[in-house]
Structure 1
């Protein structure tokens, strides 16, 4: 594909890596090379911090309205290019065009939301009860943020971090996933046109992720690290951040339960599972991973859900008729295939799919497994693919205990016709988010994040901007 941005973006300039290093970005649908991209070094990382440091005070000094207007303009320009951005997402990530367009629209919304939140950084004035001193509390920009984004949402995971950082007055260095750097690079001309000054946003693609991110976290100029990815990598970044007490925002792994109660609307629950499981081909930390269906409604639910899965068309995501595109790489496809074979070997019943297609591309068909045993590997780890693993339950206390029996706590889904039951069960679920009769929880206006090993902090909502701010209190008398 021609005219793709493939250099580092530092201080408003495009440049090659300091050592001339590059890496290839592949099209997951046919395994061809889309582009050869500059691979940043530690020296380049320091150049990014230099640029961000120079931009920090002028950007922070802008009024909240000025920053908000620039973000609003970024939303408008991004929206004008939705088709182009969605196509690029499909090319480097593999997802179907409908999924890519959904992500592009979602990504744009973070600019609109934080254009509005930029002017609502609230403080308060009070009187200390014991001393009578006046207390003035307000929020200040925390400083330079290092943003590390994953490959599954190459646009939205970037804008979900850039938006609140810029609204708060912080410059950033973003290290995109090596599988999908092109979308973030394509965003930079949009931000330039919107009025973002040089150095406020810097993009550092690199195959040496550990070295460049580690070097930046060791630099005292960095005050925030925002990471979306696996819990394993998140733990390492937390260790690195601890040495300089860098403020962490971690959106880590998930193992989402999806509970279908006896009284649930079967058709609505099946539709909800299609969203919770198949959005983004299941390559999402929010994807339904452990599906618990009440034994009394198992047969009709499995029939309804399997029919919907069977109707999906698999193929190159650039084809508008395709519902299921390619997984991002061979490793992800092979891991999904392992999970299916492991479950079947241990006694699960294969209702649909389960056979890896021949030919180029990292494809895997929509797959339904029932009677999945408790020792199946897919119940302990994120499947990250179009595979639904179903079990049954009879007692609500039992299913809540099973749902909570995981180190993760990002999101859970629950379907019931009784709202009182639903609210009661939702409060017992040890997860940062619950979809109650909804298969989708992500929203720019909501605080996205988990508990336990699923992360620290929140993205989106009012809380998202607080991750890039520090609270200052001034004590005085008059």
Structure 2
């Protein structure tokens, strides 16, 4: 057994302890990032750090996939997909560094310099434990911004493995903290050396972070919760549409920011739609991801989240019928099958609460204008999916105030595309040139004409 494999096994079985970062060490980490800040000014240095980061990930590929699989309960295929997605974010940042103009000549005596905003505090989610970190780390380093990272307690072992695996040269610009206490998080945010906060998580926590009082100004990039709707207007390509929506729904056992909360289906195709979704959901299995024969998706992250989903399901079934439920197979904790229930056009569950799990509401409509008026009034404007042949209806969707809109597809994400929401679903963007420029500020440099 290699030393890295031994580290991973010791992390997973609890032999390798992860001690909370004490206040003194938090301050020391930020001070070291400030001390090393100027070393990241060079574009070539940034490229070198990103290449080293990519090399470190590839060297430990099997171990990262194992940690994603066993710590946050993703299938092996999904864990591999997440690892590859992480590498794509590094590649994209390297591409930006090869093409981006950090100095622009505005006129004969005026130059615009693009420069780092300063030290970044990144708070990352559990549902994409590796990609969720790398999609913040890569553009931050590319912009010349050292950063300090706090991840979820649900994937702290993976985070610790990254920390232990990184070359010393990367650690000059990237620090990790292991904290849960609100006061310690507040302390980092209130540190005047922290110039930007990037957070992916719930709207509830995002609002709390936004309201922390500081004595300085900070840039914020918050990707928050979404009440994501999908609308099916006709039966064109319906079989493929249902397949695609189910795949999107069970990604990370429904614990994904792009997951669908509720599907609106044209009443004219109700019977055809329900026959299809029953056939396909009945073929799915939620099961133990730590076995040779992999399930379609694994358990949800915790007992607490399982109980949360049960309460929502019971409330929904008190007023509406069960359409279909997938199979569960295994004796592990928190196996939550995909449960599809009918819901009212307006309801207090799927319209108000992000399920963030394998619980899906279905509603039926016969008036597009009424439906789009309802959708446009949502305060949670993260992602919207529309399936229609009608150009008129597609044009209606383009006017909606959502961060991402998928027309006849759910494949909305890529390292080169901006993601994030509006209103209560967030502020700022991650991904693409737009996400990269969130980490930059500008200097208007003017010389007197000679």
1:441 pairs with one of 403, 412, 415 = 412
Please tell me whether residue 254 in structure 1 is matched to residue 213 in structure 2.
Answer: no
| Shift in alpha-carbon separation, 1:175–1:310, aligned structure 2, 3 A | same
1:145 partnered with 2:120 = yes
Q: Which TM-score applies when normalising by structure 1?
A: 0.87
Question: Where do 4+ consecutive residues of structure 1 move more than 4 Å?
Answer: 32-35, 354-360
Query: In the alignment, which of 141, 149, 156 is matched to residue 181 of structure 1?
Result: 156
* Match in the other structure for 1:66: 45
Distance in 2 between residues matched to 1:433 and 1:37, nearest whole Å: 37
**Which residue in 1 is equivalent to 2:302?**
329
Name 1:20's counterpart in structure 2: none
Task: Please give the residue correspondences for 1:358-369 in structure 2 after superposition, counting only pairs within 5 Å.
Answer: 359-369=331-341
After superposition, the C-alpha distances for 1:182-237 in whole angstroms (9 at most, x for unaligned) are 222222355418x52x33000111122x2222111111111111111111111121
Q: What is the RMSD computed on CA atoms of the aligned residues?
A: 2.4
After TM superposition, the structure 1 = structure 2 runs for residues 171-320 of structure 1, keeping only pairs within 5 Å, are 171-192=146-167, 195-196=169-170, 198-208=171-181, 210-240=182-212, 243-319=215-291, 320=293
Deviates more, 1:324-333 or 1:116-125: 116-125
Tell me the equivalent position of 1:12. none
The 1:299–1:83 alpha-carbon spacing in structure 2 relative to 1, beyond 3 Å, is farther
Question: Which of the numbers 11, 14, 21 marks the counterpart of 1:40?
Answer: 21
Matched residues in 1 for 2:260 and 2:271: separation? 19
CA-to-aligned-CA distance 1:393-424 (integer Å, 9 cap, x gap):
11211221222232111111111134x34540
Q: CA deviation at 1:70?
A: 3.1
Q: How many residues in Structure 1 have an aligned counterpart in Structure 2?
A: 443
Q: Does structure 2 retain, via aligned residues, the 8 Å contact 1:217–1:244?
A: no
In structure 2, what is the Cα distance between the partners aligned to 1:372 and 1:343? 10
Cα contact 2:322–2:340 (8 A) shared by 1: yes
Structure 1 5/139 Cα, relative in aligned 2: closer, same or farther at 3 Å? farther
Number of the residue aligned with 2:437: 466
Tell me the residue number matched to 1:401. 373
Structure 1: distance between partners of 2:371 and 2:72: 35
Q: Is the 8 A contact 2:50 2:90 kept in 1?
A: yes
Structure 2 gap ranges (5+): none
